Chain A
Amino acid sequence: MTKTYLLQAIRKEVTDTQIITYCQQASRREQGFRMLMSKYQERLYWHIRRMVIEHEDANDVLQNTLVKVYKGIPKFKGHSTLYTWLYRIATNESLTFLKRKNRNRTTSIEDQLTELANQLRADTYFDSNEAAIKLQQAIVRLPERQKMVFNMRYFEEMSYQEISDILETSVGGLKASYHHAAKKVEEYLKAHSE
């Protein structure tokens, strides 16, 4: 029975309402949480990975996120959709991680870009084609907020409304933010194309 639900969850057939109902019943909490993980873990992973870059860091942040979700879901009131709530926790966890990581960083932006390129080339879990490295270098130069908006729109193809729900910002502001970010990325890629 559980396996059927998990398969449905993997195929995204389980509704969020079902997941929440299960998670909020002590006797079915584990089953509900497994369904939630099957449905959302991959999307959350990619969202976090694009923010923190390294797989090991993404794994750590994702696990923290899921533990927080497990502890918080019994009290989830449904003021936002489950999807929005999960993304919000993942985003906050990623930002906290990045803040901690960058706290003592004193190197210049150019040094950081070189460091990032070297790190990506050495990363076993990064297909180190130069175009992908250049794009990541362009993205890392963006302010955190623009970086998030750019990733969510460009890679995850989220609607402005979805991003607005997650980041709790106006749609108009997000459109402007994405435009500025995309423009900066385009300019960087043009300037650094061989």
Chain B
Amino acid sequence: MDKEKISLPPKEEVTGFQVPEGYFEQLEQDVWTRIEATSKPRVLWQSWAVAATVALLLGIGSYFFFTSASPSDAVLSQQDALEYIEDNLEEFEEELLISNWDETDANHLEPTES
């Protein structure tokens, strides 16, 4: 497994990479510029901009949340339910009506002429 058994060209003959002249001298300055750019404390207006964006997003989100599926649309009032049953009384089975009968419902009954 030793590398002597493998024949590779001398690395000096095949190292083709070069760098622009003066690259390493300039590099230090470039790195400092980048470090300074990434370490700058966030200025006040940037903080305000972030806060305003978050508030705006929350506002938009809340608007859609509270307006798209209003609970008042989904809940049927007792009055509506009674009216529906009265209008469609024939569609309900007698047994079902009796099983859901509550004595307090008797108070709502109006005397009918028989």
Q: Beyond A37-B28, A133-B16, is A176–B9 a contact (Cβ under 8 Å)?
A: no
For window 1-40 of chain B, which residues contact chain A by CB distance below 8 Å? 1, 3, 6-9, 11, 13-20, 23-24, 27-28, 30-31, 34-35, 38-39
Q: Is the CB of A126 within 8 A of B7?
A: no
Would you give the shortest CB distance from B22 to chain A, in whole angstroms? 13
Interface size class of B (residues with CB under 8 A): 20 to 34
- Most chain A CB within 10 A, of B6, B14, B28, B34, is at B14
Q: Which residues of B contact A49 (CB under 8 A)?
A: 17
Q: Is the CB of A126 within 8 A of B6?
A: no
Q: Which residues of B contact A37 (CB under 8 A)?
A: 27-28, 31
A46 to B16, CA, bound (A): 12
Q: Is the CB of A154 within 8 A of B8?
A: yes
A162 to B84, CA, bound (A): 84
Q: Beyond A67-B31, A67-B38, is A155–B6 a contact (Cβ under 8 Å)?
A: no
User: How many pairs, one residue from A and one from B, have CB atoms within 8 Å of each other in the complex?
Assistant: 82
Would you give the shortest CB distance from B92 to chain A, in whole angstroms? 63
Chain A 122-155 per-residue mask, 1 if CB under 8 angstroms from chain B, else 0:
0001111101110110000000000000000111
For window 8-62 of chain A, which residues contact chain B by CB distance below 8 Å? 34, 37-38, 41-42, 45-46, 49-50, 55, 59, 62
A16 to B80, CA, bound (A): 83
Of A75-83, A92-100, A103-111, A178-186, which binds chain B? A178-186
Residue A86 lies at the interface, judged by CB distance under 8 Å to chain B: no
Q: Which residues of B contact A62 (CB under 8 A)?
A: 27
Would you give the shortest CB distance from B17 to chain A, in whole angstroms? 5
Q: Which residue of B lies closest to A135 (CB)?
A: B14
Q: Beyond A41-B24, A41-B28, is A132–B15 a contact (Cβ under 8 Å)?
A: yes
Q: Beyond A176-B1, A186-B7, is A125–B18 a contact (Cβ under 8 Å)?
A: yes
Q: List 11 A-B contacts (CB under 8 A).
A: A41-B27, A45-B27, A63-B27, A71-B38, A71-B39, A126-B16, A129-B13, A136-B16, A179-B3, A179-B6, A189-B9
